[in-house]
Chain A
């Protein structure tokens, strides 16, 4: 059975997403819609043909995001609409079991991000057994799904224990984040030995991915906390409209563009000589659950709201300017405004790559929405980026009247899986 799975997970030699065997989720839809009944024997070839260029009668699809590459996808990739982020605890001390799971995860991730089912599929193997794939993404395209893995400090050293013989490989940049002023962190929304960031244009596809990885990981990991996100709040594509956060403001206008190789190299990707060699080509991820007390925000005057950001609400233009992307004159912005404090020009050119999402998770039990921003930022060295920036914002930002950081985690995201056969964490464990 294993050999067969291997084959189904492997992409075509061309490097495209076409499956060699097995049926892609998209092919099922494409051909059912076209009114062609597939004989079992023909499935493999027909599916491959369907995947190669266009989808026939099916709606035009955005191309899948390639899984293999120098860097992990999901970092500089144009931000998708939806997020399911999960932090995991490793519940075994068995290094071999962990490595085995990471290999299985990689195989599954290569399948799902290509729009294919996990292992033997959602109806495969034998009827007496539960299927390998949970099936809720059947018929859905890959939806630009990306899966990005990160390793937390506790994987290297947990309360002084070196569970997996990794302590010597702990990167210096993977610091324990300092306690910032105003932090009200909840243990149940913080930390984690591993994380997976699933981003997709369809929430069901992102949830399906996390669910299947969690299932594969049973006995080795379990979900410590997770977060669903919608309404991307930062864009890595400057040519598209900057999205708004739940406060109704455009934020992240000056985010690093996913196509700006120079800026990515300077601010996001870990370079040789930066520290732990195994992280070269990787990036450090800070995840913060930022609760907004939106009820008080909504009672704030428009002027107060605009002063808080230092931008106009409708256009997003910095004070004294006309257009959102006009270069701000920082001295024209209130001294404690968010944009003025966070702008690279106020921080010696310091930049982080943001790809946060909004969230609402029911109520807080006091009749208020539990809503806010799930902040995700990637950087080359957290000590030189998020830490100084957040120290400053936590102390001075007018926005703090309306927000509280309630969850926090820090992960080292290794370089990409370059080709089939390699696996997540190979540079660390291999």
Chain B
């Protein structure tokens, strides 16, 4: 079907309005792009082409100025190897312009425009070179923060494997009670570093999907599938034994891939915020571990992981935004103290179905009080 042509007059008005708006946003974000004089990369998308004004540029802060000159709504993706999404923007209407900002490390990538928002898109290879750029200017403290965080993520993965193996062994042995007792513990390392784990887009759906998140035709595997068998059905069959072994295999894959994970200071900061979002969205409501009610264990792990990322970024953040840093210190302290009240001597947490609505509200307040300032951490480590 031929694409409907937008009339020239209509296009002109839209383009001009778009330019005015881009002008405004440029004013606000300009500081981080103009410092090295490189300016944005122009991406011109039509219904059959995807042209870039340059295909080689320095690592660091990259601004893509996308103009959709086609007749279809389009979307633009930046993919790293293996179609891992670095950044994306959907719903770019015909005749409109948008600006996409990203932090991109050195390497080769593909930019894809997807007219009609379907398929693999029209792709262009780009090369991002190492070297001086505005925000990638060497701050040893941030480089160290990333290295240390990678080490932390690796430690968490390494520590997870033996526990998951015990959990799987209990299932293989048909020991429901023992398996139940190991379920929460087997998730701690994963929950602490979930943003890293989730960055391997193919692992998370296999290990940590909830029943209602399944796509048509997707087989339900992983922790929550086993959780349901253990708590709801109270029995272990051959299928569960196979799934337990599969979980071990999938998590070993995760463990092996941590060294190659894409980690940046802003990624760490936003990852910390995402951990709190996780809590706010799925754990406060008790949806996450709806059969086992071990939500508080995951909740605590999310907070611990977020705090680790924050502590590593703190030397820079506290210098750039001392007030923010003070607030975050206080809020982490508060939420950790609150969780502490629900932790038993053996490290297990109160079952979430025993937590009253009023108490959940207190948790929700604490999560929001921390999550909101935490959302400002990325800015505190990227500017100045």
Contacts and interface: CB of A to CB of B under 8 A. Distances in A.
Contact of A218 (B23, B369, B379): B369
B369 to A, nearest CB: 3
Contacts of A215: 372
B209 interface: no
A192 interface: no
A43 B23 CA distance: 9
Interface string B1-28: 0000000000001001101110111111
B206 interface: no
Given A35-B13, A40-B23, A43-B24, A127 B32 contact: yes
Contacts of A126: 29, 31-32, 378-379, 382-383
Contact of A36 (B20, B24, B382): B20
A23 interface: yes
Interface string A13-48: 000000000010000100111011111100100000
A125 interface: yes
B369 A23 contact: no
Contact of A222 (B24, B321, B368): B368
A219 B29 contact: no
Contact of A39 (B23, B365, B369): B23
Interface stretch (A116-124, A262-270, A288-296, A372-380): A116-124
B162 interface: no
Contacts of A33: 17
Interface string A196-235: 0000000000000000000100110010000000000000
B227 interface: no
A128 B266 contact: yes
A124 B101 CA distance: 13
Given A28-B21, A91-B365, A120 B13 contact: no
A248 interface: no
B28 A38 contact: no
Nearest to A217: B372
Nearest to A123: B25
A38 B365 contact: no
Contacts of A28: 20-21, 24
Contacts of B369: 91, 218-219
A129 interface: yes
Interface in B330-383: 331, 365, 368-373, 375-376, 378-379, 382-383
Interface residues of A, number: 28
A388 interface: no
A130 interface: yes
Contacts of B31: 126
Interface in B94-108: 101, 103
Nearest to B381: A128
Residue picked from A23, A32, A91, most chain B C-beta under 10 Å: A32
B327 interface: yes
Contacts of B368: 218-219, 222
A223 B26 CA distance: 35
A37 B18 CA distance: 8
A32 B321 CA distance: 35
Contacts of A222: 365, 368
A127 B20 contact: no
A333 to B, nearest CB: 48
Contacts of B375: 129-130
B378 A129 contact: yes
Interface string B52-87: 000000000000000000000000000000000000
12 contacts: A23-B27, A28-B20, A32-B21, A33-B17, A35-B17, A36-B16, A36-B20, A40-B30, A124-B28, A127-B32, A129-B378, A218-B368
Interface of A: 1, 23, 28, 31-33, 35-40, 43, 91, 120-121, 123-130, 215, 218-219, 222
Given A129-B378, A129-B382, A219-B370, 7 more contacts: A35-B13, A35-B16, A35-B17, A36-B20, A123-B28, A128-B269, A222-B365
